[in-house]
């Protein structure tokens, strides 16, 4: 059967092979590919339909979310459209996480908005509660171990879900991990957005106090997850578990069977009304959870048998990191895994002498490590009541000054901080504009360049710390900066889909390259003749800078390219992606324009998406930082 997408159609059922509705004449396939079969959910602003992808040989099932706005006020229509497009953007940004439905397509067809995503076949936890009754402690622990890493991932991507509840958590019939769905209420959390009161969104009973007044933060999702857990443990709605007279949660009084003190302490802290008393990160919750041996044994009661098993994969979040043995026969081996950040690792940099490694994170902290041993030397903490010198938002970029006396950091808070590596204190602070997205320093250490979220580029005299001027050409956020060794040429790439080459002596554009898709990373050969760019589609592009033209494109990753680096000898190119992979390419052939899929030397991985890469000066070590909150040091073998 084929179901008509026209919400006004009186007889939407049609034969399975029909192209147009027999009743109203509307097209039955979305994008000439996706065919709706039946309605599986409907609300005031739209509906959800089960569909099939007829472009695939096996015609896999998928979901079409349709937005329609009949009989709604103008303001309601505007807000509904905003939230719908927001969900499209969030799902596209979060990539191919195995516990988030895959984003497949977005269409504007016949004056309607459509989102196509992966179909997750299985009951949600509200349905599981209704059919099987309250969850035992073991099942709730499995829930926490399944969902907390997902929250850690989306928070590392600066996204707040804002609608965590049993209905939005699905237990698939295939696979042993729960899936988090419905990002229609999610919000991208920039520093300014977190500080600004916004729209109140969420489901009554599950919403954190600060979210109820329009000031949701990452801890708000942890609160909602805590409410979900006590709902499932007791079988009662959250409204029945909170005492207005005592102004406190009384959920433990309604438990059908007792839970351990350890779980109770964790849930009580997740449910604290004051954010200062609540967990701030999913990692902190995981660290406090302790598995009791008795809970690991399979119980004989029906509820226990219906629960997904606790697997090693579900427990590895609390296991100590074990270093693999070095295999010299492999071209690239993981030498060290560094842990310590309580958020996604967003940027890494190796000092010019190869002795220090700096890392920055969404937890606002900067860490200084010995390199390549990986011993933690210093932490430059984010701004707090106890430490007033740090950044107040995500660390976006780090660079060492060539004389190695200073580490320079940029943040989403819009500031650039110059850290004295002798005293480990802030030497000075520069105002970088609206968000600092990238930094570059000239080889002589005299020129500092920073880019911002508004597309502007600022130039600074690093000796006097005076502002020199501003370059304006990009129309959107700049993602990368490359500064030539002589400090005369700058290359910038932006979300506006352009790569700009600047003559810094005159401040004029030398050339503009216009890729097909949004560029997300760039790197350059040591002779500055060949540029390599990565885009949001996961492709790599090789450019001849002398002629200003594209030479070759290559599909390298299944998600956007997050970082690109070239070894100092120019023989190795490395790309990383949100698809969790790091790919190493032989870039030694000819004039380096002949990049093909068979030039890949090795592929290595993190648990979650890889955000940043950096080579050691001698090119023998590669450093990667990931949304899984780890830093890996990879040793280069014989090519």
Give the catalytic positions in this structure: 163
Query: What's the maximum distance between 2 C-alpha atoms anywhere in the chain?
Result: 77
Query: Which residues on adjacent β-strands are paired with residue 87?
Result: none
Residue 529, φ and ψ in degrees, nearest 5:
-105, -25
Q: Please list the alpha-helical segments (H only) found in 157-217.
A: 191-195, 209-212
Element (H, E) at 108: strand 103-109
| CA 519/CA 539 separation, integer angstroms | 9
| CA 477/CA 462 separation, integer angstroms | 24
Query: Which residues on adjacent β-strands are paired with residue 169?
Result: 180
Is 442:459 a contact under the CB 8 Å cutoff?
A: no
Query: Which residues on adjacent β-strands are paired with residue 370?
Result: 356
| CA 82/CA 201 separation, integer angstroms | 13
Count of residues in the chain = 639
Residue 624, φ and ψ in degrees, nearest 5:
-130, 145
* Tokens read off for 26: 């509307």
| CA 501/CA 491 separation, integer angstroms | 5
Give residue for tokens 């450019």: 543
* Tokens read off for 156: 């590392």
Surface-to-core class of residue 593, CB atoms within 10 Å of its CB (0-12 exposed, 13-18 middle, 19+ buried): middle
| CA 570/CA 527 separation, integer angstroms | 9
| CA 26/CA 32 separation, integer angstroms | 12
């Amino acid at each position: 059967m084929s179901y008509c997408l026209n919400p006004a159609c009186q007889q939407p059922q049609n034969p399975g092979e029909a192209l147009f509705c027999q009743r109203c004449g509307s097209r039955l396939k979305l994008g000439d590919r996706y065919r709706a079969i039946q309605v599986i959910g409907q609300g005031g602003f739209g509906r959800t339909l089960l569909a099939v992808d007829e472009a695939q040989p096996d015609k896999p099932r998928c979901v079409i979310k349709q937005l329609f706005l009949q009989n709604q006020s103008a303001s309601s229509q505007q807000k509904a459209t905003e939230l719908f497009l927001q969900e499209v953007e969030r799902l596209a940004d979060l990539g191919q996480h195995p516990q988030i439905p895959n984003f497949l397509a977005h269409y504007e067809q016949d004056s309607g908005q459509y989102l196509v995503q992966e179909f997750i076949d299985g009951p949600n936890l509200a349905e599981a509660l209704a059919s099987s009754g309250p969850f035992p402690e073991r099942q709730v622990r499995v829930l926490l171990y399944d969902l907390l890493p997902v929250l850690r991932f989306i928070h590392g991507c600066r996204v707040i879900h804002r609608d965590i509840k049993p209905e939005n958590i699905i237990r698939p019939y295939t696979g042993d991990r729960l899936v988090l769905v419905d990002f229609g209420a999610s919000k991208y959390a920039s520093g300014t957005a977190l500080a600004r009161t916004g729209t109140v969104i969420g489901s009554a009973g599950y919403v954190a106090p600060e979210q109820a007044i329009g000031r949701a933060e990452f801890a708000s999702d942890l609160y909602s997850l805590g409410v979900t857990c006590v709902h499932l443990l007791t079988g009662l709605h959250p409204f029945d578990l909170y005492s207005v007279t005592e102004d406190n949660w009384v959920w433990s009084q309604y438990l059908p069977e007792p839970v351990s003190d350890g779980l109770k302490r964790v849930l009580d802290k997740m449910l604290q009304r004051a954010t200062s008393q609540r967990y701030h990160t999913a990692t902190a919750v995981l660290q406090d959870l302790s598995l009791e041996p008795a809970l690991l044994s399979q119980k004989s009661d029906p509820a226990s048998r219906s629960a997904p098993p606790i697997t090693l994969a579900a427990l590895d979040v609390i296991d100590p990191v074990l270093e693999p043995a070095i295999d010299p026969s492999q071209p690239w081996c993981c030498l060290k895994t560094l842990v310590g950040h309580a958020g996604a690792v967003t940027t890494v940099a190796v000092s010019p002498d190869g002795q220090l490694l700096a890392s920055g994170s969404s937890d606002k902290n900067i860490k200084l490590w010995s390199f390549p041993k990986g011993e933690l030397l210093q932490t430059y903490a984010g701004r707090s009541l106890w430490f007033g010198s740090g950044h107040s938002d995500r660390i976006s970029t780090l660079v060492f000054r060539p004389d190695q006396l200073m580490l320079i950091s940029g943040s989403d808070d819009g500031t650039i901080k110059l850290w004295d590596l002798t005293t480990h204190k802030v030497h000075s602070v520069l105002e970088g504009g609206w968000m600092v997205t990238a930094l570059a320093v000239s080889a002589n250490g005299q020129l500092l360049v920073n880019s911002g979220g508004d597309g502007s580029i600022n130039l600074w005299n690093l000796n006097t710390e005076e502002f020199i001027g501003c370059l304006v050409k990009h129309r959107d956020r700049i993602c990368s900066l490359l500064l030539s060794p002589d400090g005369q040429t700058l290359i910038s790439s932006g979300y506006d889909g352009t790569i700009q080459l600047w003559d810094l002596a005159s401040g004029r554009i030398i050339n503009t390259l216009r890729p097909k898709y949004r560029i997300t990373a760039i790197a350059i050969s040591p002779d500055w003749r060949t540029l390599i760019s990565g885009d949001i589609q996961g492709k790599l592009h090789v450019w001849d800078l002398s002629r200003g033209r594209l030479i070759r494109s290559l599909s390298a990753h299944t998600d956007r390219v997050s970082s690109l680096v070239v070894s100092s000898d120019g023989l190795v190119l490395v790309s990383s992606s949100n698809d969790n992979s790091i790919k190493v390419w032989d870039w030694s052939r000819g004039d380096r324009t002949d990049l093909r899929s068979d030039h890949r030397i090795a592929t290595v991985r993190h648990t979650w998406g890889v955000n940043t890469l950096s080579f050691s000066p001698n090119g023998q070590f590669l450093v990667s930082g990931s949304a899984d909150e780890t830093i890996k040091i990879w040793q280069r073998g014989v090519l």
